[in-house]
Structure 1
């Protein structure tokens, strides 16, 4: 069986590292992972490279896609693309450049991680008022249009808010505070590691996922329910602070009137091990060791 080569953008970040991990654990077939990183000398990058011989660090910047393919110097079967927050238009520019380069270099399958915007039908036409979600809608449109009539297939993943934003530090407390502002409305959440699983499935099984937009969510709960589950699992109150105005503010305001609408049962049919909030707290979160008195 021929070795498949996958380019993973953001390989040391939250989503990218989850994709790498899921790829390595999902198949016995021969694969090679080109782990794109801006700084191959960083501790995260070095740790990633030493974890498995199938990983090759690829120094590069997503804003310079031609240089990435030149450095790779090998045919690439699939690309996982995640964009990084930046000034207006930055995410679109990152993804569009990579889409163009992937088409030019014969990539077979392009997997873009976007965001749900109200369920399958609504997401196709609704950017939302949240800039970092709207930018992904723009990329989706570009990806579909540019690949029409070409040999490059696409898959769009549409996850919801990351459970991983809830951390023991001040940023995590601020996230909890914004969640509190939504009141009784339930918010859909997902573990970043589960997004990695879906991305790996799409890359490894392109025939099953090509041309699909896949919503990903593991749970749906309001702030009060989240606090109750946190206390039940961790044994202490969920930490919070005053509400700050950050990049997530527009998203949480959108939650008050609209919000996500992923079909969670359908997502679990694709991957029955999708973590709910309690499972994530216990097994994956930065709070998992608090019950034993260890530092998180």
Structure 2
């Protein structure tokens, strides 16, 4: 479609997905409004230097979202989940749903022509399985978007490769998660979600009304640890965190890990590659950006004495 002078508003523009979406949209010639609660912050100013227009908006304030979306043709929506970096300690799944619904309501009020919402793979299986809270919250937002009759696309990515670049998984010289050593986990790079989002905005006739699960690779955590170890030339054994230990900290996280171990995302990897043939497998992602990110984290952890 013709993109000259068309604007896309990106909610959560300074977050991991928001930055990737903004980067791809700018690269494709869109005008981008980078919605953020702090347009003067360092990350927002970095987006401004790249060509985006930082605009103040808060997801808990539907009025600010509506004002920021006025005149925009497209709107990208993503919300943090409980425990996401930067969220308040008391942030709940109800907050997540409220924020997602606010964005959808703002899209309708502003007359946006195409809303793209990032959900999570498996969220549509609520009728057949007891889903983890982080999937149920996304499904509830999806349902509200449908109820509003918005011209929308739902993208449902699996786990991000970037989850392996920090303290979430790198602990005490090991790769540690709640996934069983032999369980295959589907993965995708955040940048590929950004590329597919830009593709969907460019082809509204093809994408409005679609809900698509996205995955580009599938590895056991032992294979992930081996690949990282080879890329960085360091020993990196895998150590599963017992589900009971996770449950002692957070019941929802424990259920999420049990669900991944027992059910998993079940996204269609070949279908994702048909949409976006350049989608990175895990080893290519390591070569491109992942290994450098992991090395930087490990170096910083060593300097600070945390011994990741």
Q: TM-score, normalised by structure 1?
A: 0.86
The answer to whether the aligner puts 1:205 opposite 2:203 as a matched pair is yes
Between the aligned partners of 2:68 and 2:287, the Cα distance in structure 1 is: 41
- Classify 1:216/1:282 alpha carbon distance in 2 versus 1 (closer, same or farther; 3 Å): same
The answer to whether the aligner puts 1:223 opposite 2:228 as a matched pair is no
Which residue of 1 is the match for residue 233 of structure 2? 235
Counterparts of 1:82-101 in structure 2 under 5 Å?
82-85=78-81, 86-101=91-106
Between the aligned partners of 1:266 and 1:228, the Cα distance in structure 2 is: 27
- Classify 1:262/1:21 alpha carbon distance in 2 versus 1 (closer, same or farther; 3 Å): same
Render the CA deviation track for 1:112-146: whole Å, top value 9, x for unaligned. 0000018xxx5474575321121001111111122
- Classify 1:127/1:176 alpha carbon distance in 2 versus 1 (closer, same or farther; 3 Å): farther
Render the CA deviation track for 1:155-195: whole Å, top value 9, x for unaligned. 0000001110112x43332594125x422110001111111
1:232 is displaced (CA, Å) by 2.7
Counterparts of 1:4-23 in structure 2 under 5 Å?
4-23=6-25
| Aligned residue pair count | 280
- Classify 1:242/1:226 alpha carbon distance in 2 versus 1 (closer, same or farther; 3 Å): closer
Preserved CA contact (<8 Å) 1:15 1:195: yes
Which residue of 1 is the match for residue 305 of structure 2? none
The answer to whether the aligner puts 1:68 opposite 2:30 as a matched pair is no
Counterparts of 1:20-31 in structure 2 under 5 Å?
20-25=22-27, 27-28=28-29, 31=30
Between the aligned partners of 1:126 and 1:9, the Cα distance in structure 2 is: 31
- Classify 1:24/1:189 alpha carbon distance in 2 versus 1 (closer, same or farther; 3 Å): same
Point out where structure 2 has 5 or more consecutive residues left out of the alignment: 82-90, 302-308
Preserved CA contact (<8 Å) 2:187 2:218: yes
Q: TM-score, normalised by structure 2?
A: 0.82
- Classify 1:248/1:22 alpha carbon distance in 2 versus 1 (closer, same or farther; 3 Å): farther
Preserved CA contact (<8 Å) 1:10 1:16: yes
Preserved CA contact (<8 Å) 1:37 1:58: yes
Greater shift, 267-276 or 225-234, is seen at: 225-234
Between the aligned partners of 1:242 and 1:224, the Cα distance in structure 2 is: 10
- Classify 1:170/1:222 alpha carbon distance in 2 versus 1 (closer, same or farther; 3 Å): same
- Classify 1:109/1:71 alpha carbon distance in 2 versus 1 (closer, same or farther; 3 Å): closer
Between the aligned partners of 1:201 and 1:124, the Cα distance in structure 2 is: 28
Give secondary structure in 2 for the equivalent of 1:166. helix
The answer to whether the aligner puts 1:170 opposite 2:175 as a matched pair is no
1:286 is displaced (CA, Å) by 5.0
Which residue of 1 is the match for residue 88 of structure 2? none
Preserved CA contact (<8 Å) 1:231 1:237: yes
Render the CA deviation track for 1:52-80: whole Å, top value 9, x for unaligned. 2xx110111011122233245x4111110
Structure 1 vs Structure 2 CA RMSD: 2.6
Counterparts of 1:226-265 in structure 2 under 5 Å?
226-238=224-236, 243=241, 245=246, 248-265=253-270
Counterparts of 1:251-290 in structure 2 under 5 Å?
251-285=256-290, 287=292, 290=295
Preserved CA contact (<8 Å) 2:181 2:240: no
- Classify 1:111/1:128 alpha carbon distance in 2 versus 1 (closer, same or farther; 3 Å): farther
Give secondary structure in 2 for the equivalent of 1:284. helix
Counterparts of 1:113-152 in structure 2 under 5 Å?
113-117=118-122, 123=125, 125=127, 128-147=130-149, 152=150
Between the aligned partners of 2:268 and 2:144, the Cα distance in structure 1 is: 25
Between the aligned partners of 2:100 and 2:128, the Cα distance in structure 1 is: 19
Give secondary structure in 1 for the equivalent of 2:181. coil
